[in-house]
Amino acid sequence: MNQNIPKLMLTLCAVIILSFYGLSQEKHSGEHKATHWSYKGETGPLHWADLNQEYRGCGSGKSQTPIDINKTYKSDLDKLKFSYSEQPLSIINNGHTIQVNLNAGNTIMIDEEKYSLLQFHFHTPSEHTVSGKHFPMEMHLVHKNSEGELGVVGLFFVKGRKNLELQKIIDNLPSEINKVKSVNSVKIDPANFLPYKTQYYYYSGSLTTPPCTEGVIWVVLKHPVEASAEQINALKKVMSENARPIMPLNKRFVLESAQ
């Protein structure tokens, strides 16, 4: 399947994208000091576009994320090919979410393109909705290909059994904001979060935080995974509610994989 996203646009977007999605933690921290944004009040999502000239896309963009996944089109999309393995835990509370940073070596094939996993983080409640329904929590696994283009995998959590991989994160939550906590004795494996079935929704969107840069490939897994209510509440207590409101779909189409 050919992506309907101009390569040039994606490449130009890449530099801006680095700021939030963990490619340069120093730059990310500096941005917080320069322009404060949040999920409520005068610095909340309704005002992001007014906080900084670089954030104007949060208000004017036509391909923004998150969206409500409702009407979809079945398509012969390629099966996702995850190649994840464990590595020492590196975690940060960046003031907006709990984020786990990854070294090189974890990859995914999306539409015959290899993307490397950079980091994953959490939102409570879910940012995407399905037929208007929020899930208690959503994980975003952020990847980048060799041309600097981003591909993000969204994974929903429902309340159920204790999630053993998630517990490793909860047991090692940082006590300070914007300070990376490395725990070499704890190994985290992103593969242990994935559902058994990996059918997915596919669309072109944006970052869900300022600067809301567009040109991001979104892959949202259809099948959720479980975590206990206590685990979800533990993360929510640290992050608070950090979900951007649903954005208009406009003229985009959401594709649905058959496998």
Residues identified as active-site:
96
- Between strands 214-221 and 137-144, the pairing is unpaired
The token pair that represents 228 in the structure block: 């206990």
Omega of the bond leading into 45 within 30 degrees of 0 (cis): no
Separation CA 13–CA 34 (nearest Å): 20
Separation CA 69–CA 130 (nearest Å): 5
Strands of the chain (E only): list them.
68-69, 73-75, 81-83, 87-93, 98-101, 107-110, 113-123, 129-130, 137-144, 150-159, 181-188, 200-206, 214-221, 225-227, 255-257
DSSP states of 183-206:
EEEEEE-GGGGS-S---EEEEEEE
